[in-house]
């Protein structure tokens, strides 16, 4: 990805938003009967596997590249900053949902 932990965190968040919208669209369709009821678990496990790969790329590709180039300290800092910023964004979304959405 990039050397900017904010960009990496926002790309991860954007990917999650796309996945959630996709799941909501699929959930609105009738997939609980016939052959579709057997395909749904395969889709869920496939999506989980794809998500693990995408998130691994977003969070780890650049730090691993830097590490292999001998820039170990920079690699660790980038990884920890990316995870930290993503954690702050996640905590912010949780607090927003509790304080704002939960009050409605």
* Cα 56 to Cα 32: distance, rounded to the nearest angstrom: 32
* Cα 10 to Cα 15: distance, rounded to the nearest angstrom: 9
The reported pTM is 0.80
Per-residue pLDDT of the chain (104 residues; tens, 9 = 90+): 788 999 999 999 999 999 999 888 877 776 666 777 788 788 889 999 999 999 999 999 999 999 999 999 999 999 999 999 999 999 999 999 999 887 77
pLDDT on residue 31: 62
Q: Give 17-76 as a DSSP string.
A: HHHHHHHHHHHTS--SSTTHHHHHHHHHHHHHHHHHHHHHHHHHHHHHHHHHTT-HHHHH
pLDDT on residue 32: 63
pLDDT on residue 30: 64
């Amino acid at each position: 990805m990039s050397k900017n932990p904010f960009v990496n965190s926002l790309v991860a968040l954007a990917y999650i938003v796309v996945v959630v919208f996709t799941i909501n669209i699929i959930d609105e369709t009738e997939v609980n009967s016939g052959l579709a009821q057997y395909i749904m678990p395969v889709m869920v496990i496939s999506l989980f596997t794809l998500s693990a790969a995408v998130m691994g790329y977003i969070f780890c590709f650049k730090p691993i590249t830097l590490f292999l180039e001998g820039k170990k300290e920079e690699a660790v800092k980038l990884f920890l900053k990316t995870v930290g910023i993503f954690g702050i964004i996640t905590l912010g979304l949780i607090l927003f949902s509790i304080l704002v959405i939960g009050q409605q």
